[in-house]
Each structure stands twice: as structure tokens, then as C-alpha cells.
A and B are shown apart, each in its own frame.
Chain A
Amino acid sequence: MTSPGDAAPVKPPPSFSPGVARGTSKSRYPDEAESTHSIDAELAEARSVSSPTPPLSATTAELPIRSSSPHARSVRSSTPQLARSSLGSPFDGRFDGSEDIRSLIIRAFSPTVAIYASDDTDELVRNKGFKGGFWELVRPFGDTVSGKVVIRDSVGSSRAWEDYGVRFVDLNGFGRTPAGRESGQESSLTQMEEILEQQLESAEGPFGGSIPPKDALGVPVASPLWKLLLRQILSATSAAPHETFGHPVASVIAISSRNMAPLETLRQLYGESSSGDKRLPDWVNSEYLRYYVLVHDEERDDITESTKLYDQMKRHFGLHCHLLRLRSSQCIVTDDDSVQVPSCEWLSPQERLSGVGEAGKYSAFIRQLETNNIAETLVDLGTDGTPYLFDSDVTAIRTFIRELMVQSVIPFMENRVAVWNDQIASRRRGISGRFMSVGRRFMTFGSGSRSGATGSSGGSGNYDPTNNFYGPDSPEAILRKMADFAFMLRDWKLAASTYEMIQSDFKNDKAWKYHAGAHEMCAVSMLLNPLAMSAKIKLESVDQMFENACYSYLTRCSDVPHALRALSLGVELLKSRGGSATESAARWAMRVMDFGLVGPIGQILFTERVSACYASKISMGGAKWGGRRRKAGMWSIFAANQWLKAGNPTLAAACLEEGERLYGDVLETDGVFPIPEMQTFVDNLRHSVKVEYLGARGFDTRDEPASEDPVLTDETSEKLEKIDKRNHRRSLIGLPGQLDVGNFNMTSGTRDPENSPNDDFERA
């Protein structure tokens, strides 16, 4: 289901340029059936035309979080129209970006590679303008490994992935963060909130004073924010004992050609990283791959020397070596083949806060790379301190990363998974293993003191209750590591079964964080596995697992970031399952809000997400029932209300419009609610959104055409009239309703067929 082939993010056909099909009044309803039909046909066509394997540009170009990317904007803004017109079509739900988010989630769990560079290497790189040294240079390029990555799973079938990534961490900084964890957790949440605020402000900026671009408003602004939040949630957790995603799978040891005693330096670096003061914390398995890199300075050193040295390295250290040829001088914008360095996709909230300004460049950069048309697409020259690189350097680094992953890291992981599966997991799976674990459990009962704090009480005794971790060589830790490896290799079936197997061990040992982690990842890998789980029973067990994970994380360990991550993953993956799973997705999103895991802006984003979850449940087989349009509409309206209270009329307008669209299918007359108090609320909301929206844009609301105020007062007085005059009223209220909608849509680039030309004129 998530193969790159299926995941083809179908671009909307060109005929869907925003603003064409968007009617806000009821004029779109008479011919709805017809248009649905033709649109379906077009969609089908679009699907068949778009090749099963999209070019990388298609996947990556949609990633940027910034709304400043015109591409992302257009994709987003056309999405709701598709969903709107193709209600009940079989393709519905494919366009809500769920594949996109799925890929985001998968990429969030990429293998980690630690970088340990010699001083001379860091020096060389610092000359190029990267203050953080070699690590900072390669890190942004790890987000996507160029080209396809083929991975063999445990049953021997291979699969190619387009969107494989790798996370580079600095070995010097590793293990220091977990020490200050407890304080770091709380702050990571507040940091997340801060980032959202900054993002909101900067998003306001470009649209603030002027009339927004045609397709910039409407619904689209909302979802990039959600993706930003999700990305924050996924990258907020640092390396922890109970899961090995942050633990290095391999470590890159780098020296440069300037080094006088290269082989000795390599040995020394190796020694420091394995036993010296740069040693990883006790809970990290020290058996990871070492990869040796020789950075060759193209400008100052002789390549023949370097090649000789490289051959020597290969003889000493085996195949896991690479010669990286870089130019040592700093690249500036005006150089011919300068390329802007992308900002890293997976910055932790803290890092993002310190350098949030760079994020916007990412989108522009990707497109530059893809088109290879660098000079032309450079947008703003030399604005800030974003470093640039020579094109040849970029190519060299990409080749290096690809080689590192494809030839060393992935085979290593595959190998480890196979070995561990063979030696430890299968023994446990076998019948004797079961007896053993049962026997162990009885032994525990026999020993009595289950609650004792001594190391051997309860379970296997491999768990160290004072430091709260398993020794890295204990079978539990290795099984967890194996499951994580399988997960990172995207072999979700094996991962799920392994997680399931170790859950009870963790429970017996009262290793609650491990317990929570195993439940979380088991549920996630079950949901990611496209083949498994069609029945409802499974869904219940998934729910149960999230419940356990969330309880263990929150109540037993008070680990908020992990709980938030677990629940957000649950929401997104259940939502992408469709059908009845969307309802539990919505329920989990409400739980997140209920627990108060996110800040005020996060709450609003989750409110929007609840709406999206309900909206993605569609009625089946043409029947009118089975959908959740009213619920979706309700949550959207609430979100609009909250945005308004948060002082962001732009987003409020977007949500309101979305809400009215959702309600449009269940209300007899567009924009007219049968229940009077709802009507009053929505009318008031509409009005205040409009006032603030225009106010924020510098239009004095008193300058509005004089005709409007009488209409509004008319409307409110109408509303107070008796209900049984409703039929009569509709015709009256229909007009102001349309005016309302039309008015703030007009600024968002929507044309009301009847009255737009004049208004547009006025505004221009």
C-alpha cells in the first residue's frame, strides 16, 4: 500500500486550477451528479496517465512545510475541491494527503548514523562555512537517499523504496541529551508551541498587508501547519533506552587528506568511540557498524596521494570505506554552480527554534535540485547566512550517502535482523521457548516479592530497575533492537510479531517504558503493514494497544512526548485506514486534546484534525448515510471559532469555509441550519470572521459598501422570527448568506459567478 508505486501522489489534472470549480453558492448543486461523473472520469484518467513510479520531485516537492512554496500551495488548495466534487468516488480519500503523511511517518523512523570526524576534517568543513563541522555538512542530505533503495525482508522478497532516508547525529552530542531528559520533555512541548506561533506569524507576513495570491487561502494554510506539528512531534523525542530508533546503526569515522598520520588517527578515533570518553551510554548496544571516510581536499591536496591512502584504508578496514572529494573553499551565491544547502527536515524543536528562518528555503532548493537548473530558480540571493555548496560537492555527498546506505548500512541491518531472528527470536517463538517463559513466570510467582526493588525480583532479572534499562546484550534488548531494525527496514510484519512477542516480558519485568514502547510500535507496525488487518477485531486490538501504550507512557512514566507521538501516530494511521477506523482516529485525537498534551495552537490543529478524520469517512455505495459530514462540519466550525479567538482570522476563514462545505451536503439549503441557535452562532461567527479578516488586511470595515450593514441587520432580525416562517425566510436569507460567503471568499480568490466582476475590480 505504501510502495512508491501506489503512493503516487496523483497531481490534480490541470483543469482543476483553483478557483475554477469552486462555487460557494448553491449553484453547484443542481449539476452535482453530472460533475461528479465527469470528474471521476478525469481522475481515473489522471491516475492512469501519471506513471506508477513518480519522479522524486513529485514526492519531495510536496514535503516543504512552508506555505511559501507555490507548488505545495496549489496542491493543497486543489485538494478540497477534488474531495468536494468527487464525493463517494472510489478515489476519495486518496487525495487527502494520507499517503503523504504516511510517507512522512515512515521516514521519521529512519536509521541513525553517528558521525565522528577528526579535527582536521571539521576544520576543512568549517572553512566551507559550516560551523558544526562535517556532521552539519552531510546532515541535510540524509533526508532522502537519492535513487531507489532495495531492501530484502525476512522472507527474502525485495522491495524498492524511493523515499528512504537516514538520520545523521553527532557522536559528540550523543548521549548527553538523555541526561537532562526530564527537564527537556516539558520544554520540548512548549518549544513546539513556540514554533507553531512563529510559523503562524511568518505565514501571516506575506499575506498580511496585501491581497493574498489567488490560491493561497481557503483551506490550504491549515494542513502545512499540521504537518509541521506532526514533524515536530515525531522529532521531539531524543534517543532513549527503551527504543533503539535513535541509537546509531553505524558510525562514520572521517578524516581528511590534510591529516599527517591518517591511519593512526582513524585508530584513535575508533578507540575513542568504542572505549574512550566518547563512548556511548551503557544502554546502547556497542555492536554497530564502523564506516571510514577519507575527505579529500580537491583544491589543496594531491589526488594520487589520497587514492593511495584510500587503498591503504581499504586494506586495513575492509570494504566499509569511502573517498569523499570536496572542494575546500567556501562557496558563495554568485559562483556559477552554487547550490543552496537545504535545511534539515527533521530538526528537533529546539534546533528549529534556533534556526527557523532557514526552513523556507528548503522547498526552493529541492526544486532546484530536481530541475538541475540552478541559476534560473534561485529565488532570493544572499539574504541570510544559509550556506551554499558547489554542485560537484552536492553530488559527491549524495553519492557518498547512497553508497553508505545501500552498500553498507542496509546490508548490515538485514544481516543483523536475520541473525537475531535466527538465534534469539525463533528460539523464543518455538514451543520450548514458550514453556521457558511460562516456567519463568511461575518461578517469579514462587519467589514471592514481586514488588521488591531488588534487581532480580520479577521477570528475567535482565532489567535494571534502578537505572530503568535492560543491558544491551540481554535477549529482551536485542529483540527490541531487532524489531526496530525490522521496522526501519520497513518489514512491518516481522516487526509487529516481534513487538508482540516481547510485550509480556516487559510487563513481567515492570519495564513500563519498554512496555509502552512495544505496544506503541506494535500497533503502528500493524497499521503500516498493508496486508494485515482487514477485520474489525484487529482494529480493536490496535485500539487496545494504543490504550496500553498511552497509559504506560502517561500514568506510569509521565513521558509526555512519547505519549503524544504514540497518539498522533495512531490518529494519522487509523485515519489513513479509512472506514470505521477513522472514528477511532477521531476519538484518539479528542483524547490528545482531553489529556492536554499540546498547547493552545496544537489544540486547534487537533480540532481541525478531528474534522478531517470525520470528513474522510464517506458514505458507502451511494447511500446517504454512513458518512460523518455533520460531525466533520461541527468540528470545523469549532476550529474556526478557536482560530478566531486565537486572533487568526485567515485560518478561521479557511476553517469556516471548510465547515460550510462539509455541512453543504447535509443541509437542505446551503448555509441555512434548521436549528435556530446553530444558525445564530454560525452567522455571528461568519460576521466576526469577516470583520476581523478584512480588518487584518487593512480594509476599514466601515468602508464596506453601505448596502451590507442593512442586509446584516435584516438577517439577524429575520432570524429571530418564528420558525414556521422558515420557508418564507429562506429566500431572504439566501442572499445575505451568499453575500457573506462571497465576500470573504472573494479575497481568497474565489469568484462568485453572479457578483464577482465588480468586486474584483474594486479590490484591484
Chain B
Amino acid sequence: MSYYFTILSPTDTPIFNIAFGTSKSGGDGIARFRFPDTAQYMNQFIIHSSLDIVEETQWTNGGMYLKHIDTYPPAAAYISAFLTPSGARFLLLHQPPQLPASNSSSLGASSLLGASGSTTRASSSSIAANPTSPQTEEAVRQFMNEIYESYVKTAMSPFYKQGMEIRSPVFRTKVTAAGKKWL
């Protein structure tokens, strides 16, 4: 499972970005997205496009944690969102590891039937394998809450103005730690 975590300011400007991989079940904590290295903008496109859904659900959902809100099927990317009172939004893109067989999204008429889109989900209980399971939702919630706490602390810093990019290394370490702990 690979993760891409972004904090967006109320004007949709990213103020914090981090990509990391899972540390559970033998993961080494390095993100391996399905896009080639030259196409890392895809993460941002997907996250940006899911703002459509965030804007819609934030009015219908009472909580700060909006759970899993959006999917980008071609890359099997799932988006979870968390709202803060100041209008900043935490968005987490998670992508299960690519199974070697399910290389069906490649363009090409040759793979007519391909491996059908229903990627057979290995060992459904682990977080890494099943992005929509309640366990994953819970883990993401814990992760978001922990980051929210550190975010508030960072934002309280007298040297931080709202909407500024967060460059604090302490915050980054904390996010990494939370990722290691929960995801």
C-alpha cells in the first residue's frame, strides 16, 4: 500500500505533501505508486479532482473525518478526507499494491479480456490489501486525528501564518511516525 498525504489550504493550495509506503506486514515504508516515476503529478490530479466530492460531502456529513470519499478506478486509488475548522483539508490517497496479474489498465487492444478489473484482494483483513474495510477506515481515522493534533500545534506557532507552507521538520517527522504507527 502506498500513501500520498496532502494538506490543502482553503484556497486549494497544498501546504504540506508527503508520500510514504506502508510499514505494516513487512513493508519498508517506501511509496510505490502505480504510475511511472515521471507521472507523479497523477497523485495531485486525483487529489485535486476529489475536492469535488469533499465539497459535496462536507455539507452532508457532520464529522470532521469524512472517511473514504472517492475512488479513481483506473489506478485503484482511494481518497480519504479530514476537515479542520480552519478550512484546511487533509487528504490521504491510498493505493493498494499492484498485483502482478492485474496489469489490465494498460492501453492496448491485445488484452481484450485482460485480468478483469476485480482485483482479487489478497488476505482481506490486513489494512494494506483492502482500502474500504472498516479496519482501514479506523486506522486512517487514528492517523488523521494524530496529524490533526500536530497540525494544530504547528499552526499555533507564532512564526506560522495561515496558508503558509509547513516546513517544520518536527511536523514532518511526526507525520512519518503517525504513518508508521497506523498505516
Contact = CB atoms under 8 A, between A and B. Distances in A.
A724 B107 contact: no
A321 B50 CA distance: 63
Given A626-B56, A634-B49, A600 B108 contact: yes
Q: At the interface, is chain B mostly helix, strand, loop or mixed?
A: loop
B55 A625 contact: yes
A569 to B, nearest CB: 19
Contacts of B122: none
B169 interface: no
A596 B112 contact: yes
Nearest to A617: B52
Interface stretch (B113-121, B127-135, B138-146): B113-121
Nearest to B46: A634
Interface in B39-80: 40-41, 44-52, 55-56, 58-59, 73-74
Given A674-B11, A675-B14, A189 B109 contact: yes
Interface in A596-650: 596-600, 603, 624-631, 633-634, 637-638, 642
B84 interface: no
Nearest to A663: B48
B41 A678 contact: yes
Given A625-B59, A674-B14, A630 B109 contact: no
Interface in B134-178: 164-165
Contacts of B46: 634
Given A558-B113, A724-B164, A629 B73 contact: no
Contacts of B165: 722-724
A590 interface: yes
B126 interface: no
Q: Which size class do B's interface residues fall under?
A: 35 or more
Interface in A556-602: 558, 560, 587, 590-591, 593-600
Nearest to A594: B117
Q: At the interface, is chain A mostly helix, strand, loop or mixed?
A: helix
B109 A596 contact: yes
B14 A596 contact: no
Given A634-B48, A680-B41, A593 B56 contact: no
A591 B117 CA distance: 7
Interface in B79-111: 104-111
B28 interface: no
Given A598-B109, A630-B49, A681-B41, A675 B73 contact: no
A597 to B, nearest CB: 7
A677 interface: yes
Nearest to B57: A625
A595 B116 contact: yes
Interface string A477-501: 0000000000000000000000000
Nearest to A627: B52
B124 interface: no
A726 B117 contact: no
Contact of A595 (B11, B44, B104): B104
A38 interface: no
A158 interface: no
B112 A560 contact: yes
Which of B13, B50, B59 has the most chain A CB atoms closer than 10 A to its own CB? B13
B10 to A, nearest CB: 11
Contact of B73 (A189, A587, A599, A624): A587
A193 B107 CA distance: 13
Contacts of A629: 52
Interface in B7-50: 8, 11-14, 40-41, 44-50
A17 B41 CA distance: 38
Given A591-B73, A596-B104, A626-B56, A634 B113 contact: no
Contacts of A600: 107-109
A631 B11 CA distance: 18
A588 to B, nearest CB: 10
A653 interface: no
Nearest to A599: B109
Contacts of B41: 677-678, 680-681
A681 B13 CA distance: 16
A554 B13 contact: no
A31 interface: no
Given A675-B47, A678-B48, A680-B41, 12 more contacts: A189-B112, A554-B116, A595-B117, A596-B109, A596-B112, A630-B48, A637-B45, A642-B107, A674-B8, A676-B14, A677-B44, A678-B44
29 contacts: A189-B109, A190-B109, A558-B113, A560-B112, A590-B74, A591-B73, A591-B117, A593-B105, A594-B104, A594-B117, A595-B104, A596-B104, A596-B114, A600-B107, A625-B56, A626-B55, A629-B52, A630-B49, A631-B49, A633-B49, A634-B46, A634-B48, A674-B11, A675-B12, A675-B44, A675-B47, A678-B44, A678-B48, A723-B165
